[in-house]
Amino acid sequence: MSKTLIPSLKALQAFEQTANCGNILKAAENLNLTPSAVSHQISGLELYLNKKLFHRNGRGLSLTGAGQTYLAAIQGALHTINSATIDIIERQEREELNIHTSPTFGHLYLLPRIKKFQTQHPEFKINIQCSYEDAQFNLNQVDIDIRHGIFSWTNLNVIPIRNEFATVLAHPELIKETQVEKPTDLLKQSLILSQSTLIQWQQWFAYHNVELTRNLEFPFTFDRSYMSYETAKQGLGFILENSLLAEKYLSDKSLQPVFSSAFDIPITAHYIVYPYAHKKFTRVNIFTEWLLSELAQNSHYRNNR
Protein backbone atom coordinates (compact mmCIF):
# COMPACT_ATOMS: atom_id res chain seq x y z
CA MET A 1 0.00 0.00 0.00
CA SER A 2 1.49 3.35 -1.08
CA LYS A 3 2.07 6.06 1.48
CA THR A 4 -0.48 8.90 1.51
CA LEU A 5 1.22 12.27 1.13
CA ILE A 6 -1.04 15.19 2.06
CA PRO A 7 0.44 18.50 3.21
CA SER A 8 -1.25 20.53 5.92
CA LEU A 9 -4.44 22.31 4.89
CA LYS A 10 -3.11 25.60 6.28
CA ALA A 11 -0.07 25.35 4.01
CA LEU A 12 -2.24 24.63 0.97
CA GLN A 13 -4.51 27.59 1.77
CA ALA A 14 -1.51 29.89 2.19
CA PHE A 15 -0.10 28.71 -1.15
CA GLU A 16 -3.39 29.14 -3.02
CA GLN A 17 -4.14 32.60 -1.63
CA THR A 18 -0.60 33.83 -2.28
CA ALA A 19 -0.71 32.48 -5.83
CA ASN A 20 -4.05 34.15 -6.49
CA CYS A 21 -3.12 37.46 -4.86
CA GLY A 22 0.43 37.68 -6.13
CA ASN A 23 1.78 38.85 -2.77
CA ILE A 24 1.97 37.63 0.79
CA LEU A 25 0.45 40.74 2.42
CA LYS A 26 -2.89 40.39 0.62
CA ALA A 27 -2.94 36.62 1.17
CA ALA A 28 -2.32 37.15 4.89
CA GLU A 29 -5.21 39.63 5.06
CA ASN A 30 -7.59 37.17 3.37
CA LEU A 31 -6.56 34.36 5.69
CA ASN A 32 -6.58 36.55 8.79
CA LEU A 33 -2.95 35.64 9.47
CA THR A 34 0.26 37.59 9.81
CA PRO A 35 2.50 37.85 6.72
CA SER A 36 5.25 35.99 8.53
CA ALA A 37 2.85 33.11 9.28
CA VAL A 38 1.87 32.85 5.59
CA SER A 39 5.54 33.00 4.54
CA HIS A 40 6.34 30.27 7.05
CA GLN A 41 3.54 28.02 5.68
CA ILE A 42 4.76 28.47 2.10
CA SER A 43 8.36 27.72 3.03
CA GLY A 44 7.25 24.61 4.87
CA LEU A 45 5.22 23.45 1.83
CA GLU A 46 8.17 23.98 -0.50
CA LEU A 47 10.37 22.00 1.87
CA TYR A 48 7.73 19.23 2.04
CA LEU A 49 7.47 19.06 -1.77
CA ASN A 50 11.19 19.65 -2.33
CA LYS A 51 10.19 22.15 -5.02
CA LYS A 52 10.27 25.91 -5.36
CA LEU A 53 6.72 27.14 -5.92
CA PHE A 54 7.39 30.87 -6.31
CA HIS A 55 9.91 33.15 -7.95
CA ARG A 56 10.69 35.87 -5.44
CA ASN A 57 11.62 39.30 -6.79
CA GLY A 58 11.25 42.96 -5.89
CA ARG A 59 7.82 43.21 -7.55
CA GLY A 60 6.32 40.36 -5.53
CA LEU A 61 5.86 36.67 -6.20
CA SER A 62 5.18 34.70 -9.35
CA LEU A 63 4.58 30.98 -9.75
CA THR A 64 7.25 28.67 -10.98
CA GLY A 65 6.36 25.96 -13.48
CA ALA A 66 5.98 23.49 -10.60
CA GLY A 67 3.85 26.04 -8.73
CA GLN A 68 1.50 26.50 -11.70
CA THR A 69 1.08 22.74 -12.08
CA TYR A 70 0.47 22.24 -8.37
CA LEU A 71 -2.03 25.11 -8.12
CA ALA A 72 -4.09 23.75 -11.00
CA ALA A 73 -4.14 20.32 -9.36
CA ILE A 74 -5.18 21.37 -5.85
CA GLN A 75 -7.59 24.28 -6.46
CA GLY A 76 -10.52 22.01 -7.31
CA ALA A 77 -9.93 19.93 -4.19
CA LEU A 78 -9.76 23.02 -1.96
CA HIS A 79 -13.00 24.32 -3.49
CA THR A 80 -14.68 20.96 -2.84
CA ILE A 81 -13.52 20.95 0.78
CA ASN A 82 -14.73 24.54 1.23
CA SER A 83 -18.16 23.81 -0.29
CA ALA A 84 -18.59 20.64 1.74
CA THR A 85 -17.64 22.47 4.94
CA ILE A 86 -20.10 25.31 4.31
CA ASP A 87 -22.83 22.79 3.46
CA ILE A 88 -22.38 20.73 6.60
CA ILE A 89 -22.26 23.85 8.81
CA GLU A 90 -25.35 25.47 7.29
CA ARG A 91 -27.41 22.35 6.82
CA GLN A 92 -29.82 21.53 9.61
CA GLU A 93 -30.72 17.90 9.97
CA ARG A 94 -34.50 17.91 10.34
CA GLU A 95 -36.25 15.32 12.42
CA GLU A 96 -39.34 13.76 10.85
CA LEU A 97 -42.72 14.33 12.48
CA ASN A 98 -45.25 11.80 11.16
CA ILE A 99 -48.89 12.82 11.62
CA HIS A 100 -52.02 10.93 10.68
CA THR A 101 -55.33 12.81 10.74
CA SER A 102 -58.93 12.45 9.71
CA PRO A 103 -59.40 14.13 6.31
CA THR A 104 -61.68 17.03 7.24
CA PHE A 105 -59.72 17.99 10.36
CA GLY A 106 -56.53 17.87 8.33
CA HIS A 107 -57.99 19.89 5.45
CA LEU A 108 -59.92 22.54 7.37
CA TYR A 109 -58.09 22.91 10.68
CA LEU A 110 -54.55 21.57 10.53
CA LEU A 111 -53.36 22.63 7.06
CA PRO A 112 -54.34 26.31 7.46
CA ARG A 113 -52.09 26.37 10.54
CA ILE A 114 -49.23 24.15 9.39
CA LYS A 115 -47.15 27.10 8.17
CA LYS A 116 -47.38 28.61 11.65
CA PHE A 117 -46.11 25.38 13.20
CA GLN A 118 -43.31 25.04 10.67
CA THR A 119 -42.23 28.64 11.27
CA GLN A 120 -42.07 28.02 15.00
CA HIS A 121 -40.38 24.64 14.60
CA PRO A 122 -38.26 24.55 11.41
CA GLU A 123 -36.30 21.62 12.88
CA PHE A 124 -39.05 19.21 11.81
CA LYS A 125 -39.79 17.66 8.45
CA ILE A 126 -43.56 17.20 8.52
CA ASN A 127 -45.24 14.17 6.97
CA ILE A 128 -49.06 14.12 6.99
CA GLN A 129 -51.33 11.22 6.05
CA CYS A 130 -55.13 11.48 5.89
CA SER A 131 -57.79 8.79 6.13
CA TYR A 132 -60.77 7.86 8.29
CA GLU A 133 -59.10 4.61 9.29
CA ASP A 134 -57.22 4.67 12.59
CA ALA A 135 -53.46 4.71 12.21
CA GLN A 136 -51.67 1.45 12.97
CA PHE A 137 -48.75 2.81 14.95
CA ASN A 138 -46.65 -0.35 14.69
CA LEU A 139 -47.10 -0.57 10.91
CA ASN A 140 -47.44 2.97 9.55
CA GLN A 141 -44.55 4.71 11.35
CA VAL A 142 -46.99 7.30 12.71
CA ASP A 143 -46.03 9.46 15.69
CA ILE A 144 -49.43 10.92 16.44
CA ASP A 145 -52.98 10.36 15.19
CA ILE A 146 -55.85 12.87 15.20
CA ARG A 147 -58.89 10.62 15.17
CA HIS A 148 -62.53 11.27 14.47
CA GLY A 149 -65.18 9.11 16.06
CA ILE A 150 -66.47 7.73 19.32
CA PHE A 151 -63.86 6.97 21.98
CA SER A 152 -63.10 3.26 21.88
CA TRP A 153 -59.31 2.94 22.07
CA THR A 154 -57.42 1.13 24.79
CA ASN A 155 -53.74 1.04 25.67
CA LEU A 156 -53.20 4.42 24.01
CA ASN A 157 -52.76 7.94 25.34
CA VAL A 158 -55.93 9.79 24.34
CA ILE A 159 -56.52 13.55 24.63
CA PRO A 160 -60.03 14.75 23.70
CA ILE A 161 -60.37 17.94 21.67
CA ARG A 162 -62.75 20.35 23.37
CA ASN A 163 -65.06 23.13 22.17
CA GLU A 164 -66.75 21.20 19.40
CA PHE A 165 -70.46 21.67 18.72
CA ALA A 166 -72.90 20.23 16.20
CA THR A 167 -74.23 23.41 14.64
CA VAL A 168 -76.66 24.25 11.84
CA LEU A 169 -74.92 26.44 9.26
CA ALA A 170 -75.91 28.03 5.97
CA HIS A 171 -75.00 30.80 3.56
CA PRO A 172 -76.20 34.19 4.88
CA GLU A 173 -78.27 34.85 1.75
CA LEU A 174 -80.04 31.50 2.10
CA ILE A 175 -80.87 32.24 5.72
CA LYS A 176 -82.25 35.64 4.74
CA GLU A 177 -84.21 34.21 1.81
CA THR A 178 -85.81 31.32 3.70
CA GLN A 179 -86.42 33.23 6.96
CA VAL A 180 -85.71 30.18 9.11
CA GLU A 181 -86.33 31.11 12.74
CA LYS A 182 -86.98 27.82 14.55
CA PRO A 183 -86.06 24.15 14.10
CA THR A 184 -89.39 23.15 12.52
CA ASP A 185 -88.78 25.69 9.73
CA LEU A 186 -85.89 23.51 8.53
CA LEU A 187 -88.27 20.68 7.63
CA LYS A 188 -89.32 22.67 4.57
CA GLN A 189 -85.75 23.40 3.46
CA SER A 190 -82.97 21.58 1.60
CA LEU A 191 -80.91 19.74 4.17
CA ILE A 192 -77.45 18.47 3.26
CA LEU A 193 -76.42 15.15 4.80
CA SER A 194 -72.88 14.54 5.99
CA GLN A 195 -72.57 10.84 6.73
CA SER A 196 -69.42 11.17 8.84
CA THR A 197 -70.77 13.49 11.56
CA LEU A 198 -71.49 12.02 14.98
CA ILE A 199 -74.79 13.92 15.30
CA GLN A 200 -77.15 13.37 12.39
CA TRP A 201 -80.20 15.44 11.47
CA GLN A 202 -82.64 13.00 13.05
CA GLN A 203 -80.78 13.25 16.38
CA TRP A 204 -80.61 17.03 16.19
CA PHE A 205 -84.38 17.33 15.65
CA ALA A 206 -85.07 14.86 18.48
CA TYR A 207 -82.75 16.81 20.80
CA HIS A 208 -84.92 19.88 20.15
CA ASN A 209 -88.18 17.98 20.58
CA VAL A 210 -89.17 18.12 16.92
CA GLU A 211 -91.20 15.09 15.91
CA LEU A 212 -90.55 13.83 12.40
CA THR A 213 -93.71 12.69 10.63
CA ARG A 214 -91.87 11.55 7.52
CA ASN A 215 -88.44 10.47 6.45
CA LEU A 216 -86.02 13.29 5.76
CA GLU A 217 -84.90 13.76 2.18
CA PHE A 218 -81.49 15.10 1.24
CA PRO A 219 -80.65 16.63 -2.16
CA PHE A 220 -76.94 16.14 -1.34
CA THR A 221 -75.20 13.39 0.65
CA PHE A 222 -71.46 13.34 1.30
CA ASP A 223 -69.05 11.04 3.09
CA ARG A 224 -66.57 13.88 3.69
CA SER A 225 -67.59 16.88 5.79
CA TYR A 226 -65.48 19.36 3.85
CA MET A 227 -67.69 18.63 0.83
CA SER A 228 -70.75 19.55 2.90
CA TYR A 229 -69.17 22.85 3.93
CA GLU A 230 -68.30 23.71 0.35
CA THR A 231 -71.79 22.86 -0.91
CA ALA A 232 -73.47 24.93 1.78
CA LYS A 233 -71.09 27.78 0.95
CA GLN A 234 -72.71 27.88 -2.48
CA GLY A 235 -76.13 28.40 -0.92
CA LEU A 236 -77.41 24.95 -1.82
CA GLY A 237 -78.76 23.97 1.58
CA PHE A 238 -78.38 23.77 5.35
CA ILE A 239 -75.71 21.65 7.01
CA LEU A 240 -75.31 20.19 10.48
CA GLU A 241 -71.59 20.29 11.04
CA ASN A 242 -68.76 20.76 13.50
CA SER A 243 -68.40 24.42 14.55
CA LEU A 244 -64.67 24.00 15.17
CA LEU A 245 -63.99 23.05 11.57
CA ALA A 246 -66.20 25.85 10.22
CA GLU A 247 -63.76 28.53 11.36
CA LYS A 248 -62.62 29.73 7.93
CA TYR A 249 -66.20 29.86 6.62
CA LEU A 250 -67.33 31.85 9.65
CA SER A 251 -64.36 34.17 9.25
CA ASP A 252 -65.07 35.00 5.61
CA LYS A 253 -68.84 35.03 6.31
CA SER A 254 -69.59 32.51 3.58
CA LEU A 255 -71.44 30.53 6.28
CA GLN A 256 -73.08 31.56 9.51
CA PRO A 257 -74.99 29.84 12.33
CA VAL A 258 -78.70 29.67 11.64
CA PHE A 259 -79.70 29.73 15.31
CA SER A 260 -78.26 30.97 18.58
CA SER A 261 -75.76 28.83 20.48
CA ALA A 262 -78.63 27.47 22.59
CA PHE A 263 -79.44 25.17 19.65
CA ASP A 264 -75.92 23.73 19.44
CA ILE A 265 -75.21 20.23 20.67
CA PRO A 266 -71.83 19.77 22.40
CA ILE A 267 -69.80 16.89 20.98
CA THR A 268 -66.37 15.37 21.36
CA ALA A 269 -65.63 14.26 17.83
CA HIS A 270 -61.83 14.42 17.63
CA TYR A 271 -59.01 13.04 19.75
CA ILE A 272 -55.23 13.33 19.82
CA VAL A 273 -54.01 9.74 20.09
CA TYR A 274 -50.59 8.12 20.42
CA PRO A 275 -48.96 5.20 22.23
CA TYR A 276 -47.79 5.85 25.77
CA ALA A 277 -44.27 5.04 24.60
CA HIS A 278 -44.37 8.09 22.30
CA LYS A 279 -44.47 10.40 25.31
CA LYS A 280 -40.69 10.17 25.34
CA PHE A 281 -40.50 11.76 21.87
CA THR A 282 -39.86 15.49 22.06
CA ARG A 283 -41.48 15.98 18.64
CA VAL A 284 -44.75 14.44 19.87
CA ASN A 285 -44.83 16.61 22.98
CA ILE A 286 -44.02 19.76 21.02
CA PHE A 287 -46.73 19.13 18.42
CA THR A 288 -49.34 18.17 21.02
CA GLU A 289 -48.68 21.26 23.13
CA TRP A 290 -48.78 23.48 20.03
CA LEU A 291 -52.06 21.98 18.79
CA LEU A 292 -53.72 22.28 22.20
CA SER A 293 -52.58 25.90 22.37
CA GLU A 294 -54.11 26.58 18.96
CA LEU A 295 -57.36 24.92 20.00
CA ALA A 296 -57.49 27.00 23.18
CA GLN A 297 -57.36 30.13 21.03
CA ASN A 298 -60.29 29.02 18.89
CA SER A 299 -62.70 31.69 20.08
CA HIS A 300 -64.02 32.96 16.74
CA TYR A 301 -67.12 30.82 16.82
CA ARG A 302 -68.01 31.53 20.44
CA ASN A 303 -67.36 35.27 20.10
CA ASN A 304 -69.38 35.72 16.95
CA ARG A 305 -72.77 34.37 17.97
Query: Using alpha carbons only, what angle is made at residue 295 by residues 291 and 298, rounded to the nearest 5 degrees?
Result: 145
pLDDT value of position 3: 67
pLDDT value of position 57: 79
Count the Cβ atoms, other than its own, within 10 Å of residue 108: 20
Rounded mean pLDDT of 203-214? 93
Kindly indicate the confidence band of residue 200, based on its pLDDT and cuts at 50, 70 and 90: very high
pLDDT value of position 93: 65
Is residue 144 over pLDDT 50? yes
Is residue 2 over pLDDT 60? no
Rounded mean pLDDT of 38-49? 92
Report the candidate in 79, 96, 143, 134 with the shortest Cα–Cα distance to residue 280: 143
Report the candidate in 189, 42, 197 with the shortest Cα–Cα distance to residue 104: 197
pLDDT value of position 219: 95
Rounded mean pLDDT of 172-201? 95
Note the pLDDT tens digit of each residue in 97-108.
999 999 999 999
